Structure 1
């Protein structure tokens, strides 16, 4: 069975489509139930593929974040759960050499810092007092995930960028900068979030598999980016 034919990944795709349809039409509680199934299905797929356990842990905290955000007065708890998920993701990328690669490509980090600062500044005046200390910290974690992911793998980097945009829309909604109750806003947030966790997960898992495939065939005396490249074909 190939990774893309796994029933868990297929189930994720089905639930994603169902949730977007339910999100647009609004029949509770099925929209909430389908939303909370997304991250666990990806986590089980990661474990089935013998992927990084830290990635599965990050997805587990994404599930808790989704769950808490569906419960009244637990927005802060939801933010905290997602913050832990981002700590897991950043840790994963740092362990695989993200800091060294960002030093060689500093404009990635600079661009994300400018974007995050601009987003926080735009939201700041409309945020509730209780959220103001939390939003900059969470924004820093978002940009950390996005920058570290992009420095490591293009597909994962796209996922990190989409995560930042999705949560940025949520922040703008909470600050009253855009209409958070509009159907199109909810659809945009969830579509971007679904694509974010999908690209992050598949990008990271694919990169890990290439590392394992390299095995003992790479030259350990040649400096790499912590992910060994497959040996070149001999002519």
Structure 2
């Protein structure tokens, strides 16, 4: 008689299912954005971060990482409302997620060999971006955008303390939110700008999660399968 599988195999199956669901919903969301289909995007977007947070939880990832992803979920939902108040609230939710990431990096990260050079590069990027956007931003958005940009840049820089994978995640998060800021400033946009925002954002959150799990020693066996299914996010 074959013994019943223990908790470890059950957890492994649950993790694989959650990651597969995240990949599937990611594909649905991105295809919907490319097709200009609003309804599937509205359904898919709120599912993404809870699925990724669930995967991290099953993998016994740190609570700060789970909290960061769920604050990202709050921002995702609020930005669906397309109102100024909701946009500011969403920015606040993402900012809370960045604080969680920063604490996580400080607790578990290590100093990088090229820390000063990387800090200088991010500093130049921050000052240049805010200076260029400032004249075109609505007056009531300038302060919040500048403050959020400072926090976001600090998170992107700090992510490298968990290794290259998380570092790329932080950089992509910065790129994604910069694309949003150019839209707020009414700059010319790429075709289907929401697609590029979501592509870079989802890649960022996945890489941050994967990098943190790897750096903290949490098992992440399904990562290879995920990379084969969706190489654009690896």
Structure whose residues are more often helix by fraction: 2
Unaligned runs of at least 5 residues, structure 1: 212-235
**Greater relative CO, 1 or 2 (CA 8 Å, sep 6+):** 2
Where do 1:102-117 residues align within 5 Å? 105-117=115-127
Residue 88 of structure 2 is aligned to residue 76 of structure 1: yes
In the TM superposition, residue 135 of structure 1 has moved relative to its aligned partner by: 1.0
Q: CA RMSD in A?
A: 2.0
Unaligned runs of at least 5 residues, structure 2: 1-8, 220-234
Residue aligned with 2:178, SS: helix
Q: 2:58 aligns with which of 45, 48, 64?
A: 48
Distance (whole Å) between structure 2 residues aligned to residue 24 and residue 97 of structure 1: 37
Residues matched between the structures, number:
207
Distance (whole Å) between structure 1 residues aligned to residue 138 and residue 209 of structure 2: 33
Q: What is the match of residue 18 of structure 1?
A: 28
Q: What is the match of residue 131 of structure 1?
A: 141
Residue 195 of structure 2 is aligned to residue 187 of structure 1: yes
Distance (whole Å) between structure 2 residues aligned to residue 32 and residue 129 of structure 1: 29
Give me the TM-score of the superposition, normalised by structure 2. Answer: 0.83
Q: What is the match of residue 154 of structure 1?
A: 164
Q: What is the match of residue 208 of structure 1?
A: 216
Residue aligned with 2:142, SS: coil
Preserved contact between residue 3 and residue 49 of structure 1 (Cα < 8 Å): no
Per-residue CA deviation, residues 67-106 of structure 1 (Å, 9 max, x unaligned), is 00001311111111000000100110011245xx169721
Moved more, 108-117 or 61-70: 108-117
Preserved contact between residue 67 and residue 100 of structure 2 (Cα < 8 Å): yes
Q: What is the match of residue 99 of structure 2?
A: 87
In the TM superposition, residue 43 of structure 1 has moved relative to its aligned partner by: 0.4
